[in-house]
């Protein structure tokens, strides 16, 4: 029982470390607000848009654990 618990915790730690490393090496992710387009379209006037304030038109935002 005790050994199984330790095994599960070790597996979880490995998965977490892999997620952390991958996030660290790939710090940017697609902006969730504009889906990477860099602009937000108006709901009422589809041809009008404004620059996405979340990413400043880059279309990318820094994900969690990203390096500077
Ligand atoms: Zn954006």
Distance between Cα 38 and ligand 1 center (Å): 5
pTM score > 0.85 for this model?
no
pLDDT at 1: 65
Please give the sequence-ordered ranges of beta strands (E in DSSP) within 1-68, or none if there are none.
28-30, 39-41, 49-51, 60-62
Compute the C-alpha angle 40/41/46, nearest 5°: 175
Residue ranges near ligand 1 (ion) with Cβ within 5 Å:
31, 33-34, 52, 54-55
- pLDDT (tens digit per residue) in 11-66: 999 999 999 998 889 899 999 999 999 999 999 998 999 999 999 999 999 988 77
Distance between Cα 40 and ligand 1 center (Å): 7
Distance between Cα 33 and ligand 1 center (Å): 5
What three-state secondary structure class fits 47?
coil
Check: CB of residue 35 under 8 Å from CB of residue 60: no
């Amino acid at each position: 029982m005790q050994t199984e618990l330790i095994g599960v915790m070790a597996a979880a730690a490995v998965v977490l470390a892999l997620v952390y490393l991958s996030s660290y090496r790939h710090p940017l992710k697609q902006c969730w607000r504009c889906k990477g387009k860099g602009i937000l379209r108006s709901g009422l006037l589809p041809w009008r848009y404004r620059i996405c304030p979340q990413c400043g038109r880059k279309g990318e935002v820094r994900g969690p654990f990203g390096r500077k």
